[in-house]
Amino acid sequence: MKKILSFKKILFIVLLQVLIVVSQAYSQFIPIDSIRKQDANGVPLLLNQTVWVRGVVTTSLEFGTPLVYFQDPTGGMVGYDGPFSAGVSRGDSVKVKGKVVQYSGLTEFTPVDSFTVLANNRPFSPITITCRQARDSGETYEGRLIKINNITMVKTTAGVPATQWTVSASGTNYRIFSGTDSCEIRIYGTTNIANTIIPPYPFSVTALLSQYKTSAPFFGGYQILPRDLNDIVSSAAGPIIANTPAESNIAQTSVTLTWTTLSNGDTKVKYFISDSLYQPVVYTDSVYNAAQTTAHTITLNNLKPGKIYYAQIVSANTSGTSVFGPKYFSTASHPASTGKTEVYFNYPVDTSYAYPGNKANGNVNYLTRLLQRVDSAQNSIDLAIYSFNDLTQLRDRMIMAIGRGVKIRIVYDSRNIQALMQDLINAGVQVIQRPTTSDLMHNKFFVFDGRDTSAHSRKWLWGGSANITNDQFYNDVQNVILIQDESLCNAYTREFEEMWGSHNDNYNLALAKFGSAKLDNTPHLFNINGKRVECYFSPSDDISGKIENMINTQTNKSINFCIYSFTRFNIANRMKAKYNPPTVMVRGVFDVSNNTAGSIYQEMKGIGGTSPWNPPAKVFLDNYFDALMHDKYILIDADDGQSNPIVETGSFNFSNAAQSGNDENILIIYDSLVANQYYQDFVKRLTDAGGTIDIRKNSNEVPNAFKLEQNFPNPFNPSTNLNFSIPKSGYVQVKIFDLLGREIGSLVNNNLTAGSYSVNWNAGIFSSSVYFYSLIVDGTVIDTKKMVLKK
């Protein structure tokens, strides 16, 4: 007999089932602070568990990655997931299901399995904390929106006071100070904060508190991440100057300055001639425009040629006054200054790539050229150098220069004093040594007659990669550049005197500054015979950032480099972002003794590292096994006569030490003739290392069939052009073989689209003979032809 349940029992069962469902619905969400509970090594206890949470989104794609910060009243965390980041906005209330993982100490969901937006416009107010709390108690605030008030100073991580949020690669870290307390702040390159001026002090910062700690225990490495300019609020009054004022239209008696403000203000510049770092600040001139605007442009007239000026930039409105300064700029040199540029290489160059009348100077004896400059000096020689030895003729000529009244000052590394340097000291030359640290006085420059204010045509700068030793002049591969320009020499003299500690003959240890103690206090932009030239010094001027910006904004066709030491991924990643063969090529020669095991060479070559390039770049290790490949230069578009070629050269290796600790210098030269001379050197360094200058696409028109043309010229010495056409996309190889059928070179190894192409082969290192070349597409040999090398 079937048992019949009473109505009360049925009702109870239904209610119990409803309660179970409701209980399950609410119990699936857990507070974020429960996810954040960690073991003794800082690892989440719920690691790899999938859970549900609710929270409010505090980001909106500001960081350029699928990174979403969200929080509830108990804590904050991150979701790293493409669909999640694309589907939510700041202020959205969301429910999220995801797998708990940890990335460099940061607790996050990766992936987000599902999410639902429950409501919009639910902003979360930040929690006000101190720098110390952010630094020392970051785990408590990780993932949450915080606010730090009363910021009174910003410095780079090297300890240099900063005036601008200069950002390279994906982002750059700084330290913010509230009084003596500090913490780390990261400015992402994708935010509108990047490369804007740091606002007047004091200001407050609203930010997400994040963490980057790559090894256990996962405590420390806390940094704050502002999202946009609205997160940085100055309590100072006035229009607020938003960027570093920039100079343009540089002439001998006038310069134009330009800047922007966040709100309307007037325009005023106060300035005076800055003969040294050690003179009092006394403004002698000013210009003013009362018009209220956010875009400020003003031209300073009646200036003196070849002078460094110290300026203060001022904008005011009814709310107050905003001030930027000091701003250093230079006028163009006196008319008697020639601007002549001489480039020298101590190894052979390939002049077959020279523009008409522009053959580079290879196989140069640097000592002969340097002795000529020393003998020509009439007033002063300032030398900043890492190594000075062996070259007794140079020592003797410098002592002779002292005898005829030339004043010599030397800034030298902290190394043990070398014999010839000691000889100069014994002869009465004052030498200041860099304080002993792990960093180097790594400059390699002379300024001749830079201290003679009337020597407009005799002021010469000697720069480049070479130290003053026998090996560096005669054995190692180097480049040297000489420029006769008054204004540029003034800037190098200014940098020298910051390390010298005075403006006179005697150094001052109390005022001498090296490394991170130095300030950005030189002009950087010069007009030399109508050509743009920039100069920067490390570590005060963020040289790596300047190089990265040059690569990012100026490259149209190619990046070619020769480098002794390359360990800075920021620069390599900028190159990688531009690399798009065959449209944009990256080629380079690394010193074999310093980079064989280096991950940057291996990544570029596509043979190792954490992110091998695919396709690999045309990079090679040099073959000068008994010498150093000591060059340090980058060429932008030097093989494209229709572009604006650029040369970057100086003492700066592409390394973290050069960026943040060493005393270094570089020049960035916008001159097609100078670039062409460096390119002649680069081609020879590349071919000596076993490489070739790469393929060029001549036409996008789709040909009817595969075709390999006869090389031209033929016979040839030492280079020839090979042309071919492909009617469809494919993996194309052009290989060179000797008479015995042995492969001796590969000119092309790329996926190419349909079109017509040419590639050059330089056979300078091969002997006269018959050679063969083959066009191979997707593994099939299309055609093979022979060519004759006659020397």
Question: How does pLDDT run across 613-670, given as a tens digit for each residue?
Answer: 998 999 999 989 889 999 999 999 998 766 789 999 999 999 989 998 899 999 999 9
Query: Is it the case that residue 455 has pLDDT exceeding 50?
Result: yes
Query: Is it the case that residue 762 has pLDDT exceeding 60?
Result: yes
Strands 145-151 and 127-128: parallel
pLDDT tens digits along 348-390:
999 878 888 999 999 999 999 999 999 999 999 999 999 999 9
With beta carbons less than 8 A apart as the criterion, state whether 755 and 726 touch: yes
User: What 3-state class would DSSP assign to 134?
Assistant: helix
HEC-encoded secondary structure of 655-666? CHHHHHCCEEEE
Q: Determine the average pLDDT of the residues in 436-443.
A: 92
Query: Is it the case that residue 32 has pLDDT exceeding 50?
Result: yes
Query: Is it the case that residue 274 has pLDDT exceeding 70?
Result: yes
Q: One-letter amino acid identity for 615?
A: P
pTM above 0.85, yes or no: no
The closest of 711, 714, 717, 729 to 773, measured between CA atoms, is: 711
What is the pLDDT, as a whole number, of residue 519? Answer: 86
The closest of 81, 75, 88 to 119, measured between CA atoms, is: 88
Sign of CA dihedral 409, 415, 421, 426: positive
What is the pLDDT, as a whole number, of residue 597? Answer: 67
Q: Determine the average pLDDT of the residues in 456-460.
A: 96
Q: Which two tokens stand for residue 705?
A: 């069939």
Higher pLDDT, 557 or 598: 557
Q: Determine the average pLDDT of the residues in 468-481.
A: 97
What is the pLDDT, as a whole number, of residue 14? Answer: 42
Alpha carbons 145 and 149: distance in angstroms, whole number: 14
Residue 207, CA atoms < 13 Å, CB-side half-sphere: 30
User: What 3-state class would DSSP assign to 327?
Assistant: strand
Which of 274-283, 419-428, 581-590, 648-657 has the lowest average pLDDT?
Answer: 581-590
Q: Determine the average pLDDT of the residues in 780-790.
A: 96
Q: To the nearest whole number, what is the mean pLDDT of the chain?
A: 91
pLDDT band (50, 70, 90) for residue 11: very low
Query: Is it the case that residue 8 has pLDDT exceeding 70?
Result: no
Query: Is it the case that residue 16 has pLDDT exceeding 80?
Result: no
Query: Is it the case that residue 561 has pLDDT exceeding 80?
Result: yes
What is the pLDDT, as a whole number, of residue 27? Answer: 45
Query: Is it the case that residue 72 has pLDDT exceeding 70?
Result: yes
DSSP secondary structure string for all residues of 478-544: -EEEEE--HHHHHHHHHHHHHHHTSSSSS--TTT---GGG----S--EEEETTEEEEEEEETTT-HH
pLDDT band (50, 70, 90) for residue 741: very high
Maximal C-alpha separation, the chain: 131
pLDDT band (50, 70, 90) for residue 764: confident
Alpha carbons 647 and 633: distance in angstroms, whole number: 7
What is the pLDDT, as a whole number, of residue 696? Answer: 75
What is the pLDDT, as a whole number, of residue 58? Answer: 96
Q: Determine the average pLDDT of the residues in 581-585.
A: 81
pLDDT band (50, 70, 90) for residue 557: confident
- Phi–psi pair at 315, nearest 5 degrees: -135, 135
Query: Is it the case that residue 580 has pLDDT exceeding 90?
Result: no
DSSP secondary structure string for all residues of 195-250: TPBPPSSSEEEEEEEEE---SSS----EEEE--SGGGEEE-S-SS-B-S--EEES-
Which of 156-160, 316-320, 410-414 has the lowest average pLDDT?
Answer: 156-160
Query: Is it the case that residue 102 has pLDDT exceeding 90?
Result: yes
Q: Determine the average pLDDT of the residues in 66-95.
A: 93
Q: Which two tokens stand for residue 136?
A: 């020392």
User: What 3-state class would DSSP assign to 185?
Assistant: strand
What is the pLDDT, as a whole number, of residue 642? Answer: 66
Alpha carbons 494 and 523: distance in angstroms, whole number: 9
Q: Determine the average pLDDT of the residues in 177-198.
A: 91
User: Residue 265 CA to chain centroid, in angstroms?
Assistant: 33
